[in-house]
Amino acid sequence: MTNRDDDSDAITRKARRKLAARKRGERGAWFGLGMFGLVGWAVAVPTVLGTALGLWIDSATGSERSWTLALLLAGVAVGCLNAWYWIQRESRDD
């Protein structure tokens, strides 16, 4: 009996997803371009901010360590996590 219950739960979930997709309507090319832009900005903004902050710290302190490179990498990492968050959030809505 548990196999039948699992099957009926799976069918119910698929039917609910299908109904939600019909209510939401089809997503076209503009939606894809918008998501592409959102992911691009989600990575670009933290990267540029990290680089700018690193350049400022390097010019203000004159230390031997390159804060620009360190904060550039940190900005890329934060941007990738941010993009992952947006993609996961959008796929959860599906």
What digits encode the pLDDT tens for the residues 34-85?
777 878 888 999 999 999 999 999 999 988 889 999 999 999 999 999 999 8
Alpha-helical regions (H) of 1-94? 2-24, 29-61, 67-93
* Positive or negative torsion for Cα 69, 52, 67, 56: positive
Predicted structure pTM score: 0.62
Residues 58 and 66: their CA atoms lie apart, in Å, by 7
The token pair at 84 is 């992952």
Residues 60 and 72: their CA atoms lie apart, in Å, by 17
Is the predicted pLDDT of residue 1 greater than 60, yes or no? Answer: no
